Every structure is written in C-alpha cells, then in structure tokens.
Amino acid sequence: MKKIAVFTSGGDAPGMNACIRAVVRTGLHYDLEVLGIRRGYAGMIDGEIIPMDSRSVSNIIQKGGTILQSARSISFKTPEGRRQAFENLSKAGIEGVVAIGGDGTFTGADIFCSEYPEIAFVGVPGTIDNDLYGTDYTIGYDTAINTAMEAIDKVKDTADAHNRLFFVEVMGRDAGFIAMYSGIATGAEAILIPESKTDINKLVDSLHNNFKRKKTSSIVIVAEGDEEGGAIEIAKKVNERFDKYDTRVTVLGHVQRGGSPTCMERVRASRLGMEAVKALLNGQTRIMVGLIHKDIAYTPFQKAIKQNRSIDPTLAHLAEVLSS
C-alpha cells in the first residue's frame, strides 16, 4: 500500500482533528502518501481530494470541529453515487481509506466495500454519543460530557439563587450516555434517557418529595431522544401536575459538539488514528478500530453498527440512590 486517504463524516466531534493529524503523520512515518477528502462522502463524490503533509496538520490538535469538514450525502446512498466515489478514489490512486465517524459513516463504508473490495476501509469511532459497539469511548464523548457538566453546574447556580426547577436538555437522540454521566456528575434530581421509559407521574412525585424536604431547587436532565419528548415538552407535562417551583428550560444543543478537546480525548484520538493506519498496512478492511479496557480492538463494521452499546444499569441505580 502506497497511498491512503482520510475523511470525517456525520456529526462533528471534538478530537477529530487530533485523529486526522495522527493519520497523516503516521502515514508519512510509514512512507505513505496521504490525501484528505473534504466534506465526507459528498466530497468523495465531487472529487474534493487534497494532498496532506506534516505541515497541513500543524497546530490543529487542540481545535474542535474538523479541518476536513463534514457533510451528509444522499447521493452516496445510491449505486451511482458510490460508483462516482470509487472512480475518484481510483483516479487518485487511493488504496486505503480511514473513515472517522459514526454508524452512518460505517454503514456507507461497509456497503461501498461490498461493491468495491479493492479499496480498503478502516473506521475510527467519532461521535459524541458514545454508542458504538467495539470501543469503550468514542472520539468526542469525553469533551461533550465535560462541556455539558460545566454548563449544568452554571445552571445549578442560578437555579439555587431563584428557587427554580430547571429542565436541561442534552444531546442523545438514540443514546443517553451524555445525559446519564453529566447528570450523575452534577447531582441532578432526575435523568431521563431513551433507553428507559419515562414515568411523568413518578417524576412529579419525586419533585414533590424534594419540595416537602425544603429543597430550594431541582435539576432534571433530559436526553433529546426521550420518548416523552424533549425538555420543553416534558416541562409542560410536569407543570400541569406540579407548580411549586418556578420552571425554566435550557437546551444545550450544539455547544456540546464544539470546543477544545480534553487531554484524554486528544490522546485517544491520536492513538486510534495511528492504529487505523497500521490496520490498513496489515491488510485489514471493513473494520472499526476501538479501545476496550485500554487495548486496541478490531470490530467488523456490521457488528459495530448493529450492536449498539447499552448503558450500565448500575449507573441508573446510582443516580436514583444519590438523588434521593
């Protein structure tokens, strides 16, 4: 293998730049030519392929977002789009690709490889949701939970000052990892996640008990994918049954995707980027490189996509006990 490429796809995540840097510099270390594909699969189809050298990734390890940018691509879901992407990769002489992204990215890569096996794809898990099977932590997750924690701490300060009930919505359409960890870390009174059914009546009873115990404020963390709705909708349902507190809603939104990656984020992303290049050189394809118990692990794309990680039930018990 003489020439590889790297791209980022799907939602951006802090640490992606650190991973890009590691891929480029590891590739150069092994005398490979390294190219960057801008705007994910969309750029692959449009031929937005650029040469990368050591200087092109200087001073990016501390930056959030992704210097290669990201985009959704409807065209890549079609055989015609994938054919165009293959032609562009082949024209550039690319033999292996490092794909940094989540389940949508790996789904696209797996389909592409089944049609064009002559180009190898190795994935690196990049998503703030931390929901991919085959790794303990995804790139972006550690920074996202710390960003959420810091924001919730600030909300708690103003909640205490005004005797308020705050519903804080964090990201997590299909997974509640951010909600669970940031909720435990900030001492939230309740944590609502997609993985478990929300009982509004039980929540109201809990808030009422807090009020009777002279608690001056409460924080409820809501993952955006909760089946009862987002924080705004749940706040309305609670207010219909309980009006002892002055209620406010805060939606953290995309602030969780931005910001400088944490130290551990940068180290993990760098390690995974290096191991992805080594996997390509070792003849691997259609696999995701992850970290399990601090060791490198290879997981087939199909397994990483279909067997999403679940939240440890002991965490839910911990949150319930400590909030009582």
Contacts of 47 (CB under 8 A, 6+ apart): 88
Query: What are residue 194's phi and psi, to 5 degrees?
Result: -65, -25
- Give which of 124, 71, 168 is closest to 265, Cα–Cα: 124
Tell me which of 129, 131, 142, 226 is the catalytic residue.
Answer: 129
The rounded Cα 47 to chain-centroid distance in angstroms is 27
Active site residue 226: no
| Angle, helix 103-115 to helix 79-91, in steps of 10 degrees | 80
Question: How is 167-197 classified by DSSP, letter by letter?
Answer: EEEES-SS--HHHHHHHHHHT-SEEE-TTS-
What tokens appear for 79 in the block? Answer: 């055989």
Q: Annotated active-site positions, please? A: 129
